[in-house]
Amino acid sequence: MAAPLDDVFVRELERNDGVIIKINQSKIGDVGCVVWDAAIVLSKYLETDDFDGGKLLKGLKVIELGSDLPEFIPLIQLNIDTNKHLFVTKVTAAALPWGRLQDIEENCDIILLADCIYYEDSLEPLVNTIDQLCSDRTTVYCSYEERSIGNNPEVERKFFKLVRQKFDVEEIPQDRHDPHFRSGDIHIMKFRKKCNSNR
């Protein structure tokens, strides 16, 4: 079921340079319909000194995984259209069901994931998709909110076990997150493909 575009609300996020990004979110649904806190923490991290205020992202091929199911493309496209005056390069929305990479070019520079670790059945397809999109020069940034209810701790453990089979993993320390957009239960992990990882 597509995210209904007639029932959206706008969340505004101010960049460090004062520019306002308008994010259309659906009032109905959970996965793919709203921007979760881990995504905000990750986006603000991309504005830190680690990325020279975001300047180091210019000219790079960046893929965001998370809201990439076919039913959410209209909502993503609405957000692209709403903020197109802010873009200095081409931004496109495309469906990418995890585990099925027919039409997507691989070997991007950066992959971003925010709050994608929640359904156990999606872990292996997600890790395989990340692996297929990566070259030796790709860096993956995964932001997630640590949750202690239900099977979430086990799902997180399984995810990182799968990731560590193919990637070297390090956590970005909290003191390198944006000072105003950080939380002790939101982590940003950095993955790089292991040198001996099979393609």
Q: Which of 28, 109, 98 is nearest to 69 (CA)?
A: 98
pLDDT one-digit tens code per residue, 142-193: 999 998 887 889 999 999 999 999 999 999 999 999 999 999 999 999 999 9
Task: Output the CA–CA distances (angstroms, integers) from residue 4 to 13, 30, 64, in the order listed.
Answer: 22, 12, 21
Q: Could you tell me where the beta strands, DSSP code E, fall in the chain? A: 8-14, 20-26, 62-65, 110-114, 139-145, 167-171, 186-193
Strand partners, 163: none
pLDDT tens for 34-50 read 888 999 999 999 999 99
What is the mean pLDDT of the segment spanning 26-33? 74
Rg (alpha carbons) of the chain, rounded to whole number: 16
What is the pLDDT, as a whole number, of residue 68? 76
Tell me whether residue 4 is exposed, middle or buried, using C-beta atoms within 10 angstroms of its C-beta: 0 to 12, 13 to 18, 19 or more. middle
Q: Which of 195, 180, 193 is nearest to 40 (CA)?
A: 180
The per-residue pLDDT for range 73-121, each reduced to its tens digit, is 999 999 999 999 998 888 989 888 888 766 666 678 999 999 999 889 9
Calpha distance 186→179 (Å, rounded): 13
Of residues 199 and 35, more confidently modeled: 35
Overall pTM surpassing 0.85 (yes/no): yes
CATH architecture of 36-193: 3-Layer(aba) Sandwich (3.40)
Q: Which of the four pLDDT bands, split at 50, 70 and 90, describes residue 199?
A: very low
Q: What residue ranges do the domains of the chain occupy? A: 36-193
Predicted pLDDT of residue 151: 83
User: 45-68 pLDDT, tens per residue?
Assistant: 999 999 998 888 888 999 999 877
